[in-house]
């Protein structure tokens, strides 16, 4: 029962041109039963089976119109989809306007399970229909199917609509290695160059009076030669600097982005600061929910790795 081209657009009004209706399995049994009663009544020349068959036929025809009227005139529009992670159920918002009471409404996207049975009064309604994206980026949930079998279950009436409003999908969260960079001294263009994380550092950022336990390796010999006294170099510790996350070059891009997605969520949950370097794009260090959304959005919009011919 998936015949009929799905409607495409930001809004849809259900009517005769985009609503489809056929008997359910129970409806076919009902129709078969009333035909058998007709045959029995004619063969036995009995008015009882004939009267019952005509009553069943009247209910059958009445159910046809009542089921169709449940959806006729309903207007649908896309809401403002909120971002989420690939591989996890996301809620796609819909706005429905019902001219009258709508009974037995059920909705789903694609091959997702049908949602619960809804009974909507006349007026405006906001619904969230779940779907599970498989890829990152700006994705559309696909074809929405809405249907009803109310009031008697003899007919099923449905329509198909493909909303055009995209939903931003972050990479799936997968624990794994990421590349950690640090900002060091400003370069010639004023932008701080990046260095891979390593144990220790060759850079020093302060001078303290030399102590015997510091050893000669920390002694600032240039100042000693200038006769300015004996001072020990105080080296910078990479752990004191906010990390800048970047994809691990040893991994495929999509897998590296999934690792970054998990690391960003973990750092945000711990209240730590971090930045992101993604190709030519650099997001300064920060923390909080806004930083998480900014960095995850950059991961979602990152150009895909070109495929090899």
**For residue 202, what pLDDT is reported?**
43
- Place 6 in a pLDDT band, splitting at 50, 70 and 90: confident
pLDDT digits (tens, 9 = 90+) for 63-106: 999 999 999 999 999 999 999 999 999 999 999 999 999 999 99
User: What residues does 274 pair with on adjacent strands?
Assistant: 286
Q: Domain map of the chain by residue range?
A: 1-167, 171-199+241-304, 202-235
**For residue 254, what pLDDT is reported?**
94
The rounded distance, in Å, linking the Cα atoms of 283 and 276 is 5
Average pLDDT over the chain reads 85
**For residue 234, what pLDDT is reported?**
59
**For residue 181, what pLDDT is reported?**
84
Q: Interior CA angle at 275 toward 274 and 280, to 5°?
A: 165
The rounded distance, in Å, linking the Cα atoms of 72 and 59 is 20
- Asked whether 152 and 144 are in contact (CB, 8 A), the reply is no
pLDDT digits (tens, 9 = 90+) for 31-56: 999 999 999 999 988 889 999 999 99
For the beta carbon of residue 86, count every other beta carbon within 10 angstroms: 22
Sign, CA dihedral 6-8-11-16, equals: negative
pTM metric for this prediction: 0.75
Q: Per-residue pLDDT for 107 more than 90?
A: yes
pLDDT digits (tens, 9 = 90+) for 185-228: 444 444 455 555 443 344 444 556 767 766 676 677 776 777 76
Cα Rg for the chain, rounded, in angstroms? 33
Both structure tokens of 124: 């405006």
- Place 3 in a pLDDT band, splitting at 50, 70 and 90: low
**For residue 208, what pLDDT is reported?**
61
- Decide the pairing of beta strands 274-278 and 281-286: antiparallel
User: Could you tell me the CA-to-CA distances from 73 to 9, 11, 67, 151, 247 in Å, in that order?
Assistant: 17, 13, 13, 17, 50
């Amino acid at each position: 029962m998936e015949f009929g081209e799905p409607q495409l657009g930001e809004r849809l009004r259900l009517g005769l041109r985009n609503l489809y209706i056929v008997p359910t399995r129970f409806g076919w049994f009902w129709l078969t039963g009333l035909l058998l009663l007709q045959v029995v009544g004619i063969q036995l020349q009995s008015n009882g089976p004939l009267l019952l068959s005509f009553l069943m036929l009247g209910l059958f025809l009445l159910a046809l119109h009542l089921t169709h009227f449940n959806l006729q005139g309903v207007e649908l529009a896309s809401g403002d989809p909120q971002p989420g992670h690939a591989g996890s159920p996301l809620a796609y918002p819909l706005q429905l306007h019902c001219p009258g009471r709508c009974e037995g409404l059920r909705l789903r996207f694609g091959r997702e399970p049908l949602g619960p049975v809804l009974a909507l009064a006349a007026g405006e309604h906001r619904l969230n229909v779940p779907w599970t994206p498989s890829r990152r980026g700006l994705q559309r949930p696909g074809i929405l199917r809405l249907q009803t079998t109310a009031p008697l279950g003899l007919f099923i009436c449905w329509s198909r609509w493909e909303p055009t409003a995209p939903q931003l999908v972050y990479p799936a969260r997968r624990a794994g290695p990421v590349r950690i960079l640090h900002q060091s001294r400003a370069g010639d263009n004023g932008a701080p160059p990046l260095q891979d994380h390593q144990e220790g550092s060759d850079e020093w950022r302060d001078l303290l009076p030399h102590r015997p336990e510091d050893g000669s390796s920390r002694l600032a010999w240039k100042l000693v030669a200038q006769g300015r006294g004996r001072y020990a170099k105080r080296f910078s510790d990479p752990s004191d600097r906010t990390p800048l996350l970047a994809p691990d070059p040893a991994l495929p891009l999509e897998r590296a982005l999934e690792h970054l997605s998990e690391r960003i969520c973990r750092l945000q949950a711990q209240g730590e600061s971090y930045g992101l370097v993604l190709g030519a794009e650099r997001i300064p260090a920060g923390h909080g929910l806004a930083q998480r959304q900014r960095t995850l959005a950059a991961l979602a919009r990152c150009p895909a790795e070109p495929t090899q011919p």
